[in-house]
Each structure stands twice: as structure tokens, then as C-alpha cells.
Amino acid sequence: MYLCKFDEEGKRIATVVSGIHFTTEKDKQSYLKDGYIETSDEDYQYYIGNKGTGKNGTGYVRGSDGKPVDAPAYEPTTDEKKQAIISQYESDKEVLKSQYADAMMADNTELADELKAELVELNNQFDKDIKAVEG
């Protein structure tokens, strides 16, 4: 038998096992008084990931009915979103810089001018995307 403790979002935060962490009814009751909930073996298998990761790929949490339900989809933080934008921007800028250097070495000023214009567009889009994430 498993006794699991869940946070307010239904995520399992602790587990104790009969015969390992407690052996008497008195010990079991102390865990129950501390907020642990009896959990069946089948439900426990969902919480620890042995039944897959659910429809959102984020596992399972304890639902309001006391049964495992799909955990909500992961929502990246503002900082994570900004970092993704920055990483993509830096990658795109490196490509443009390399193409620009190739164009200059080949004396292709027309292509170099097009690449400069693309860099301006990239910078403007970057600023716009960062402002959108920051709200």
C-alpha cells in the first residue's frame, strides 16, 4: 500500500510505503494526519510515470475526484520564452553574417545590400518578439 502526499495542483510530492516506512496502524495514521492519502498500486503507477506521460506529455496528477488525470501542458516562463527568442535570433544573425562575408569576398554588393536589409528586418522582428513576450 502506498500513502502519497500531493500539492495543491495534485502533483505527488512524497510517498511512503507499507512495510518500509510504516508497519503499524498507528504509524499509518500519523502519515494520514500529516496529509498523506491512501493510493492504490494502479494509481501510483500513473503518478510515477509507469503508465506513460498522458496526452500533454507531462504525466499525471491527482484530480479532484482523487484519480489520476492528465497533468496540464507545460507553459514556459517569460524568461524561457525570451531565451528561446534570443537563441533563435543569435542563430539567424550568425547565418546572415556568414552569408554577408561570403558576398563581400565575392564582391557581390547587391547580395550584401540584401543581407543588410534582412539584418534590419531581423533586428526589428527580434525587438517586436521580445516586447510581445514581456507584455
Q: So what's the pLDDT on residue 66?
A: 95
Domain end residue (candidates: 70, 94, 118): 70
Pairing verdict, β 12-17 and 68-70: unpaired
Domain end residue (candidates: 70, 97, 118): 70
Q: So what's the pLDDT on residue 34?
A: 97
Number of domain units in the chain = 2
Q: So what's the pLDDT on residue 47?
A: 97
The pLDDT tens digits along the chain (135 residues) read 899 999 999 999 999 999 999 999 999 999 999 999 999 999 999 999 999 999 999 999 999 999 999 999 999 999 999 999 999 999 999 999 999 999 999 999 999 999 999 999 999 999 999 999 998
Containing structural domain, residue 85: 78-134
CA atoms within 13 A on the CB side of 4: 23
What is the Cα–Cα distance from 130 to 123, expressed in whole angstroms? 11
Domain end residue (candidates: 45, 70, 95): 70
Q: So what's the pLDDT on residue 135?
A: 85
Note whether 16 and 53 are same-domain residues: yes
Note whether 10 and 64 are same-domain residues: yes
H or E, element range at 76: none
